[in-house]
Structure 1
């Protein structure tokens, strides 16, 4: 099931890459023909998106590989690396757009509004379809790429509105104003996702509420007196890893321990954890990991 899911993710990212690359070429030509600095700027930004999506596609394919001697947990964290790279590229691109758009407020230029309208309709359709395809994905990588494409959709909507206005009145200053508005909006959302990605990279708990729920379920098992060294972290934002020490309330014989392990497995089944390592400790037993116990 997970393999199929990741194959689908690679397929979705591949489609997004192909659409984006093809349309970037059209943008450069269209921007030159319409004499629109806004479209040329968007074309350069889309080129950056292509590089980001291409790298994410490759990294997502690497994430599908089986665990090896060097990467015993598998390669899923490469997908997280893709999300991190894309976030950085997108932030740099957004800052570049702002640096281009803000000076234009003082000296706006009138582009070819009719040509802009045609390109904008095509831009909304192509990027909208690509964003729709990626919206089916749940990985951080796909979510970050979805912001790339949503940024492009909003940009083309802005250019569409602008071209319609410019057909009626000569107000070229709307071009940089709209560019600044949508870029700031996207920048805010990407920074939020990037911070989440960084947290997962630093092995923070992906969901504190989930950690508390797992802790409560383990403490609810009759034979468990206390728990410590409960660590919950994530490979890629989706596939979580759990390690924990369970201190039992008395000594149990082998058949009873087998039943206990079955109870623990049943309690953890609903969380669909990718890897679990659970240590059983008897009363007064010395704990190897003698660090301050964390609850």
Structure 2
């Protein structure tokens, strides 16, 4: 009962943050157009990306406690990777659009409607700050990651606030496109970095090569094990890792010895916090049924 209410509280906080962010993103796009501010447009693109991240986190949170069906035997953890890809594509398209709008203004800057820009900045700091306050109460990894996303938004709006205050007293319209280009380059840097790691996980590469080698050495050092092959170490979502491996036994073992070996392996691998582990034993002189793919 406690677990259910805790999960329900998590869903409520993330769902609330999602609708708040989406609503405010729409206000930003309209406000950016009305105030003629590319800086606000750039921040709107950033907030759109955060809205997508929060949306997929919310979906994942709602699915996370459901039992994995036969069709999706590993559950729904990979939804986060799909969400990251969609998020990345949307942000790249949005960022390119902002750059096309902002770069020409460097040579012919236009003064934004500063009062409107200032009002939106104050609202942006307040809305995102309140969202951070709400999500900060959460204990899940999703909520902690999203809290940092929203903290970035608060800092972005603080920058817009500072620029709008400066523009109230000094007519320097070039500050607006400069700020928008700075925002956009920051977004693109993070997007490309995240897209690279997401694509690597989608291709089921090892999430960490050092950990992969450590796991292999852990298995090989067991006196009952003569060799390891067909070892596959990959990740569902960057956090939940999966391991499968064939272990060549050094001798023919009894059932009791195999049970004891399984328990030893479970203890040895416990430090790696694997979500799913499948180990297959092969007796001496036994031909591996996947021999055509066996590592040399």
Name the TM-score class by shorter chain.
0.7 to 0.9
The unaligned stretches of length 5 or more in structure 1 are none
Q: Over aligned residue pairs, what C-alpha RMSD do you find?
A: 3.2
Structure 2 CA distance for partners of 1:43 and 1:184, relative to 1, 3 Å = closer
Counterparts of 1:188 and 1:40, CA distance in 2: 18
Residues 1:92 and 2:115 aligned together = no
Aligned counterpart, 1:197 = 198
CA contact (8 A) 1:53 1:86 kept: no
Q: Tell me whether 109-118 or 27-36 shows the greater mean CA deviation.
A: 27-36
Counterparts of 2:45 and 2:261, CA distance in 1: 60
Aligned counterpart, 2:232 = 231
Aligned counterpart, 1:158 = 159
Q: Tell me whether 113-122 or 211-220 shows the greater mean CA deviation.
A: 113-122
After the TM superposition, which residues 174-253 of structure 1 pair with which residues of structure 2 at under 5 Å, given as runs?
Answer: 174-253=175-254
After the TM superposition, which residues 32-181 of structure 1 pair with which residues of structure 2 at under 5 Å, given as runs?
Answer: 34=35, 36=37, 38-39=39-40, 42-43=43-44, 46-47=47-48, 49-50=50-51, 53-130=54-131, 133=135, 138=141, 149=150, 152-181=153-182
CA contact (8 A) 2:112 2:176 kept: no
The unaligned stretches of length 5 or more in structure 2 are none
- SS of the aligned residue for 1:58 comes to helix
Q: CA deviation at 1:289?
A: 1.0
Give a deviation string over 1:245-294, Cα, whole Å, max 9, x none: 11111111111111111111111122221111101111111101113433
Structure 2 CA distance for partners of 1:64 and 1:82, relative to 1, 3 Å = farther
Q: CA deviation at 1:41?
A: 5.7
Aligned counterpart, 1:289 = 290
Q: CA deviation at 1:115?
A: 3.4
Q: Tell me whether 282-291 or 101-110 shows the greater mean CA deviation.
A: 101-110
- The number of residues matched between the two structures is 293
Q: CA deviation at 1:234?
A: 0.8
Counterparts of 2:189 and 2:233, CA distance in 1: 28
Structure 2 CA distance for partners of 1:74 and 1:29, relative to 1, 3 Å = closer
Counterparts of 1:215 and 1:278, CA distance in 2: 12
Give a deviation string over 1:75-120, Cα, whole Å, max 9, x none: 2112221122112112222112111111222332222323322321
CA contact (8 A) 1:232 1:240 kept: yes
Q: Tell me whether 109-118 or 263-272 shows the greater mean CA deviation.
A: 109-118
Q: CA deviation at 1:150?
A: 5.8
